[in-house]
Amino acid sequence: MFITRRRAPFYLKVCRELLELFQSHRGKSQRELSSSLEALEGERTDFKIFRGLAKLLQEDAEFHPVRDIDYSSLRHWVFLRAQNDYPIVSKPDLLHKIQRHQILSEAAQKFNLPAEQMDGLLYGDLPANQILTSFKTAYTPESLLKRYNLALAQGLLYWARRIRVVLFDYYRVVFQYLKLARLIHWIRPLAPQGIEILVDGPASIFRNTQRYGIRMADFLPGLLLAGNWEMTADIAVPQGIKQFYLDSNCGLKSHYTGLPLFDSAIEENFFKKYSRKEREWTIEREGEVIDLGKTIFIPDFTFHHTDGRTASLEIVGFWTPEYLQKKIQKIELAHRKNLILAVNSQLNCGREDFKGEVLFYRTGIKISDVLQKLEKVGC
């Protein structure tokens, strides 16, 4: 159940209590933390929300053994040493306690460990005995609450058959996270602007649905980084298929960091210099999507003239042989007469490798060269 604005004040207090509890258990075992969480939960009726918030903090917490030692070797030595005192009695008696103390004392001496800590060290690597040392995220009550709502939305996508995303900006950022999640998808441009992304969901495949569901959930925070978008997901439930809708006004916040706006210093410097003054040709970062059938092509910059003409600029500034070959193939597939290429002159290629308008640069792209090409190809 999503925590709404009306219920937020109450659960902000719960978040604050949980954060204080976790902070107070630094240096204590995971078993002690679990016990304290049970006590704080008590008999509350909203235990699902409470446990969900606590789970986020537990996943964010880092636990480590008290000492950095080889616990398997320690136990192996102790058990071999204990064989000399077989048979093991069903109930510990005084003799058994003396033998145990003697064996642990010998182990402490052999492994150079404090004898008084041997009872705890013997199984110190087990999760329940590990110590809370730190947290990966500096949560506040507000950010924890937002992360909880996002986690609920991500959980729904575990059961998605398909999601449809309509995206109007930040294409590169969203595509990057789409690729990182390794999702099966199709992309097509929409008129007059924007693109449609169709993604197969975990409920539409027959194997590894849990793993694929995790990847689907991992994509959602990347989508939230876009400024203008819509998403409709077909969710498989026992009653049939239900639709889950989100858009850029849903209020969910991403905990991912946005990617850099520019791929290189060449791109950034050119954009900043070009934007310093008003021109008849205005510049836009990744403002056009070109449909190539099985894939798409998004030029680095799109230019709009005051008289309605448009043109695009693609910068080919770094390469591997494979990257350069794919880039050339995409450019050829585009068949765009109003596409300008700016190619690094140090690349292992020449004018004959490209069709259309090409300008070469070495350390930076000259604005005058671009303006000259724009007047030639703009349409």
Which domain CATH number covers 326?
3.40.1350
d(CA 274, CA 5) in angstroms, rounded, equals: 44
What are the distances in angstroms from CA 178 to CA 129, 144, 172, 236, 266?
Answer: 39, 25, 10, 22, 26
Q: Running along the chain, 379 residues long, what does each successive block of 10 average in pLDDT?
A: 90 97 96 96 94 96 90 88 65 61 86 83 89 95 96 92 91 84 85 86 69 89 94 92 95 85 86 94 84 76 93 80 72 83 81 81 92 89
| Inside any domain, residue 252 | no
Environment class of residue 338 by beta-carbon count within 10 Å: exposed (0-12), middle (13-18) or buried (19+)? buried
What are residue 196's phi and psi, to 5 degrees?
-115, 130
Task: For residue 202, give the nearest of 211, 218, 214, 213 by alpha carbon.
Answer: 213
> What pLDDT sits at residue 318?
63
What are the distances in angstroms from CA 22 to CA 33, 40, 82, 135, 284?
Answer: 7, 12, 39, 9, 47
Number of domains in the chain: 4
> What pLDDT sits at residue 27?
94
Judgement on whether residues 98 and 185 belong to the same structural domain of the protein = no
Dihedral sign computed on CA atoms, order 90, 93, 97, 99 = negative
> What pLDDT sits at residue 90?
47
**Helix (H) / strand (E) containing 62:** strand 61-64
Domain membership of residue 164 as a residue range: 145-247
Judgement on whether residues 82 and 167 belong to the same structural domain of the protein = no
Task: Mark which of 247, 281, 304 sits at the end of a domain.
Answer: 247
Judgement on whether residues 15 and 132 belong to the same structural domain of the protein = yes
d(CA 300, CA 374) in angstroms, rounded, equals: 15
3-class DSSP assignment, residue 345: coil
| Inside any domain, residue 254 | no
Task: Mark which of 139, 174, 193 sits at the end of a domain.
Answer: 139
Task: Please count the CA atoms within 13 angstroms of the CA of 287 that sit on its side-chain side.
Answer: 12
> What pLDDT sits at residue 102?
84
Query: What are the DSSP calls for 191-247, one per residue?
Result: SSS-EEEEEE-GGGSSS-HHHHHHHHHHHHHHHTTSSSEEEEEEEEETTEEEEEEEE
> What pLDDT sits at residue 285?
86
Judgement on whether residues 197 and 311 belong to the same structural domain of the protein = no
Omega prior to 192 cis, within 30 of 0: yes
Judgement on whether residues 186 and 281 belong to the same structural domain of the protein = no
> What pLDDT sits at residue 68?
86
Question: By the 8 A CB rule, do 266 and 307 touch?
Answer: no
Judgement on whether residues 278 and 308 belong to the same structural domain of the protein = yes
Judgement on whether residues 98 and 34 belong to the same structural domain of the protein = no
| Inside any domain, residue 3 | no
Please count the other Cβ atoms lying within 10 Å of the Cβ belonging to residue 105: 13
Dihedral sign computed on CA atoms, order 195, 201, 205, 211 = positive
Judgement on whether residues 98 and 150 belong to the same structural domain of the protein = no
d(CA 245, CA 222) in angstroms, rounded, equals: 16
| Inside any domain, residue 256 | no
Judgement on whether residues 227 and 159 belong to the same structural domain of the protein = yes
| Inside any domain, residue 165 | yes
| Inside any domain, residue 1 | no
What does the block give as tokens for 370? 């671009």
Question: By the 8 A CB rule, do 209 and 146 touch?
Answer: no
> What pLDDT sits at residue 132?
96
Judgement on whether residues 241 and 334 belong to the same structural domain of the protein = no
Please count the other Cβ atoms lying within 10 Å of the Cβ belonging to residue 79: 10
Q: Nearest 5°: CA angle at 215, between 210 and 216?
A: 95
Judgement on whether residues 116 and 159 belong to the same structural domain of the protein = no
What does the block give as tokens for 46? 């909203």
What angle separates helix 8-24 from helix 141-156, to the nearest 10 degrees?
110
| Inside any domain, residue 253 | no
Looking up residue 153, the CATH number of its domain turns out to be 3.30.70
pLDDT in tens, 166-177: 999 888 888 888
| Inside any domain, residue 259 | no
Judgement on whether residues 279 and 241 belong to the same structural domain of the protein = no
> What pLDDT sits at residue 51?
96
